[in-house]
A and B are shown apart, each in its own frame.
Chain A
Amino acid sequence: AQSVTQLGSHVSVSEGALVLLRCNYSSSVPPYLFWYVQYPNQGLQLLLKYTSAATLVKGINGFEAEFKKSETSFHLTKPSAHMSDAAEYFCAVSDRGGGFKTIFGAGTRLFVKA
């Protein structure tokens, strides 16, 4: 069965500092992988997705993530945090076999300090 583990329920960084949000997945075959962002009382917005084309995936708002099969990881990074990045971030995995079902990690709340 697929699963996603996000290390750290809360991450706090200073404005301008590197953002690193960790995600490890469990799957028998390389799945589709996603990072979504959620602002308070809103739905989720896709930041980026891994579909097997390139292991380094660039997304919106300056975020990127690298797929590392050997580590079964898909960590999210941003070189310089902005106050507007404060939100909840979810890593998600979906089976390539069809069915579209997506499993979400527990989420990481990102705090950005001025």
Chain B
Amino acid sequence: GAVVSQHPSRVICKSGTSVKIECRSLDFQATTMFWYRQFPKQSLMLMATSNEGSKATYEQGVEKDKFLINHASLTLSTLTVTSAHPEDSSFYICSAPRGGANEQFFGPGTRLTVL
């Protein structure tokens, strides 16, 4: 089956620093990837759609200058949390669709803790 990886799985950083999270489709190409944010005991909130070769599409209320997305290749999308603050602490999950029925394959998630 399709595999999506994320790196790192866990990161702790100081307030004010930037953190980059990678999402890779390991055995298929993905022109589109999605980034979600999940707070404890809550659902996934779609942050943005990452598009290979073009700008990301951000959901309403998501700061594009805060959460920089770059879809560098057909197998890699990166999310950079700039000038991180404690309120950015969350579980970030990426996904990539494959197949004709919009099925999403999810990465294992990245736990970000900002001190």
Please name all residues of chain B whose beta carbon is closer than 8 Å to the beta carbon of A45 when the two chains form the complex: 106
A100/B97 in contact, CB under 8 A:
yes
What interface size band does chain B fall in?
20 to 34
Q: Mark B11-37, 1 if CB is under 8 A from A, else 0.
A: 000000000000000000000101000
Judge if B54 is at the interface, Cβ distance under 8 Å: no
B42/A43 in contact, CB under 8 A:
no
**Do A90 and B103 form a contact, CB below 8 Å, given A41-B109, A42-B108, A101-B49?**
no
B42/A106 in contact, CB under 8 A:
yes
| Residues 90-113 (chain A) with a chain B CB within 8 angstroms | 90, 92, 94-96, 99-107, 109
Nearest A-chain residue to B105, judged by Cβ: A46
Judge if A83 is at the interface, Cβ distance under 8 Å: no
Give the tally of cross-chain contacts (CB within 8 A). Answer: 64
Please name all residues of chain B whose beta carbon is closer than 8 Å to the beta carbon of A99 when the two chains form the complex: 49
Nearest A-chain residue to B41, judged by Cβ: A109
Most chain A beta carbons < 10 A, residue from B44, B93, B100, B105: B44
Which one of B43, B49, B93, B100 lies within 8 Å of A43 (CB-CB)? B93
A51/B43 in contact, CB under 8 A:
no
A42/B97 in contact, CB under 8 A:
no
Judge if B111 is at the interface, Cβ distance under 8 Å: yes
Report the bound CA distance from A104 to B95 in whole Å: 13
The smallest beta-carbon distance between B88 and chain A, in angstroms, is 18
B43/A101 in contact, CB under 8 A:
no
Please name all residues of chain A whose beta carbon is closer than 8 Å to the beta carbon of B4 when the two chains form the complex: 43
A102/B109 in contact, CB under 8 A:
no
**Do A46 and B103 form a contact, CB below 8 Å, given A101-B49, A102-B34?**
yes
Please name all residues of chain B whose beta carbon is closer than 8 Å to the beta carbon of A46 when the two chains form the complex: 103-105
Q: Interface of B with A (CB < 8 Å)?
A: 4, 6, 32, 34, 41-44, 46, 49, 91, 93, 95, 97, 100-109, 111
Q: Interface of A with B (CB < 8 Å)?
A: 32, 34, 36, 41-46, 49, 51, 90, 92, 94-96, 99-107, 109
